[in-house]
Amino acid sequence: MVAKPVIVGRSSSHFTRVARIFAAELGVACDLRVVHDLMSADAADYGGNPALKMPTLVTSHGTWFGALPICRELARQSSLRLRIVWPEDLDTPLLSNAQELTVHAMAMGVSLTLGKVSGVPVDNAHRLKMERSLLSTLSWLDANVAEARSALPAERHLCFLEVTLFCLTTHLKFRDTVPTASYSSLNAFCESFAARSSARATEYRFDA
Ligand SMILES: N[C@@H](CCC(=O)N[C@@H](CS)C(=O)NCC(=O)O)C(=O)O
């Protein structure tokens, strides 16, 4: 049993940052329990997640696996009544595809980073395909981010699509996964989102 909710994850992880930004925006104080060994095969190191993935949210009344379920639980726990745009609210092809491709690119980023640290050769066919997939997904997102954002409800406080897009784009730069300088629309969006105190409080860094 824990008094204060705990997010199990890493300060360098983009899915963890999504959860932490939601926690900060929603005013739900959480501790971070760092997953120190990325190669650990012990679910206990990931807050009990048998998939050996982070983030996990551990609270006094239950444990949630994965960024989106965690964000939903944080919203339930929050006393603030924020207007949040969730993936199921994205009911046009443009918005729905933007969300799908953002989460896909995040998963590609995870696989490419793990491939790099575990020594997958640069000319490995699957690695090359993942890189191609990531780059073409980023081009699509860059071309569509402005129109997609202008189609979002104007009165929103928080939007899962925007938070994931921010965490994705900034993480690619942080980990140098692929060059990002040419994605001017994505970078412009990130610059404005980065001014939020939730973004400033969760800047990527490698945990000690
Ligand atoms: N479906 C999960 C995916 C989480 C995920 O891929 N997390 C990465 C860190 S950003 C991870 O656990 N990486 C370690 C690994 O894949 O071994 C979510 O939405 O939270």
Among 81, 103, 123, the domain boundary falls at 81
The residues of the chain scoring below 70 in pLDDT are 1-2
Q: Confirm or reject: Cβ of 13 under 6 Å from ligand 1.
A: yes
Q: What is the pLDDT of residue 3?
A: 83
Pair 104, 130 in one domain: yes
Task: Give a yes or no: residue 68 inside a domain.
Answer: yes
Per-residue confidence (pLDDT) for residue 20, from 0 to 100: 98
Q: Specify whether 91 is located in the same domain as 188.
A: yes
Segment 14-71, tens digit of pLDDT: 999 999 999 999 999 999 999 999 999 999 999 999 999 999 999 999 999 999 999 9
| Residue 171 domain boundaries | 84-196
User: What pLDDT was estimated at residue 2?
Assistant: 57
Domain boundary residue among 64, 81, 98? Answer: 81
Q: 113: Cβ below 6 Å to ligand 1?
A: no
Going from the C-alpha of 36 to that of each of 8, 44, 107, the distances in angstroms are 10, 12, 20
Based on the fold, state whether residues 91 and 192 are members of the same structural domain. Answer: yes
Nearest CA to ligand 1 atom 2: 66
Same domain, 74 and 91: no
